[in-house]
Amino acid sequence: MNILVINAGSSSLKYQTYDMTDKPVVTAKGVCERIGMDGSVLTHKVGADKYVTETPMPDHTAAINAVFAALTSDKGGVLKSMADIDAVGHRVLHGADKFSESVIVTDEVEAVIEECIPLGPLHNPANLAGIRACKAIMPGVPQVAVFDTAFHQTMPDYAFTYALPYEYYEKYKLRRYGFHGSSHRYVSQRAAEILGRENDPDFKLITCHLGNGSSFAAIKGGKCIDTSMGLTPLEGIEMGTRSGSIDPAILEFIMSREKIDVSEMTNILNKKSGVLGVSGVSSDFRDLDEAADSGNLRARLALNIFDYEGRKLIAGYAAALGGVDAIVFTAGIGENSPQIREHMTDGLEFIGISVDPAKNNIRGKEADVSIDGGKVRVLVIPTDEELVLASDTKRLAQ
Ligand code: ADP
């Protein structure tokens, strides 16, 4: 069984093909960049081989056509024809409170994804374009939508309701939704497997997804009870270029003094803030580490803020859960930065969290990095959102 998974952004489209006949095997993957712009390019990878094709991609349909051409090409193709694809899984950013799990895309599902565009104005239109392009090119092949928000739908109302006039919730569905759902779900299931706590309703876990965007989740018995991103991915911890949570009054303060409008302010909060804004150096944590080590005080400050905010979130979620059995670090930073794992947990010994510096000196692989006999297991688990997409797609298509 061949499954194609697609993660469509506004100007990029990532894809991966799986042979799911036995256990999942990735057969090819790639990315289309600069969709809708000049100089669009497709990079297709099969094992260690890489094929780069410059081809016009004025829209997502053209990008999907280019992907299909790459997948069936004499050079680097892995399929005889697109009829060999049995089902397609699409990552969809926002499903609001309509979807608590993945679904087969029907006309009604498409309509709801469209309804959610105001909540995910950059991503949902791209996700829809990807779905529509696949439907047009491969009619009759099941399309599955996997929502970033779905895993967090189990949060109680007191965790997802903002203290604003209630009518805004009623009128606009303004509430916390949370994101990175497939990642939190994948690593929480792996953690339960590793620790032999599957189906244990008392297993208390905190997952820390630390990448360009970062979010935390408090998970009890496999169900999310709180998460740090909100209505949009802007809320929570300081990120690569996003501010995370700040005093809401700051917006008016800056806008009136700098004479900027709402869209420019939103752009500043999303693209010019976070560790990039504080350090003035980079949004990439490798650059920050290097700058901080060579004495750049603002790079050090940006890292200190990240560690401090993360530490408060972990301790806060331990309180929300009424204790904690394990924490998981995942995504680019969580998987690859021993320093962040050590500094973020520094001072959390009082709730039983202690990292062993020797065990923690690993990158990009599963490991238990807590001290021997530590009360709370500290795990590193590389995330695999694509596998979640492929597995859900296989299950629903069958
Ligand atoms: P995305 O949210 O785009 O999927 P990733 O999960 O790939 O992001 O994470 C990207 C981040 O991971 C970047 O900030 C990058 O600096 C960071 N990262 C990758 N490798 C390392 C490393 N060895 N040390 C510190 N940070 C790292």
- For residue 169, the one-letter residue type is Y
Q: Tell which one of 33, 281, 286, 344 to mutate to probe ligand 1, the residue whose CB is within 8 A of the most ligand atoms.
A: 286
Q: Can you give the pLDDT at residue 10?
A: 82
| Model pLDDT, residue 355 | 98
Tens-digit pLDDT profile for residues 101-114? 999 999 999 999 99
Query: Cβ–Cβ contacts within 10 Å for residue 140, how many?
Result: 5
In b/e form, how buried is each residue of 283-303, taking b as 16+ CB within 10 angstroms?
Answer: bebebbbebbeeebebbbebb
CA of 334 to the centre of ligand 1 (A): 8
Specify the residue with its C-alpha closest to ligand 1, atom 3: 212
Q: How far is the CA of 45 from the centre of ligand 1 (A)?
A: 21
Ligand 1 centroid to Cα of residue 141, in Å, is 35
Task: Please name the fold of domain 197-380.
Answer: Nucleotidyltransferase; domain 5 (3.30.420)
Q: What is the predicted pLDDT for the residue at 227?
A: 98
CB neighbour burial string for 234-271, b if at least 16 within 10 angstroms, e if fewer: bbbbbbbbbbbeeeeeeeeeeeeeeeeeeeebeebbbe
| Domain spanning 2-147: CATH 3.30.420.40 | yes
Q: Report residues whose beta carbon is within 6 angstroms of any ligand 1 atom.
A: 211-213, 240, 284-286, 331-333, 336-337, 363
Angle, CA 339 vertex, CA 335 and CA 343 arms, to 5°? 110
CA distance 349 to 203: 20
Active-site residue, 148 included: yes
CA separation for the pair 111, 350 (Å, rounded):
49
d(CA 354, CA 350) in angstroms, rounded, equals 9
What does each of the 398 residues of the chain score in pLDDT, given as a tens digit? 999 999 998 889 999 999 999 999 999 999 999 999 999 999 999 999 999 999 999 998 899 999 999 999 999 999 998 899 999 999 999 999 999 999 999 999 999 999 999 998 889 999 999 999 999 989 999 999 999 999 999 999 999 999 999 999 999 999 999 999 999 999 999 999 999 999 999 999 999 999 999 999 999 999 999 999 999 999 999 999 999 999 999 999 999 999 999 999 999 999 999 999 999 999 999 999 999 999 999 999 999 999 999 999 999 999 999 999 999 999 999 999 999 999 999 999 999 999 999 999 999 999 999 999 999 999 999 999 999 999 999 999 99
Span 61-87, pLDDT tens digits: 899 999 999 999 999 999 998 899 999
Nearest CA to 203 among 316, 375, 325? 325
Per-residue model confidence (pLDDT) at position 341: 98
Q: Identify the pLDDT of residue 82.
A: 85
CA of 283 to the centre of ligand 1 (A): 9
Q: Decide: 138 and 130 in contact? Cβ < 8 Å.
A: no
List the catalytic residue out of 19, 22, 148, 200.
148
Q: Which atom of ligand 1 is nearest to the CA of 285?
A: 16
pTM of the model: 0.95
pLDDT at 122: 83
Where, residue-wise, is CATH 3.30.420.40 in the chain? 2-147, 197-380
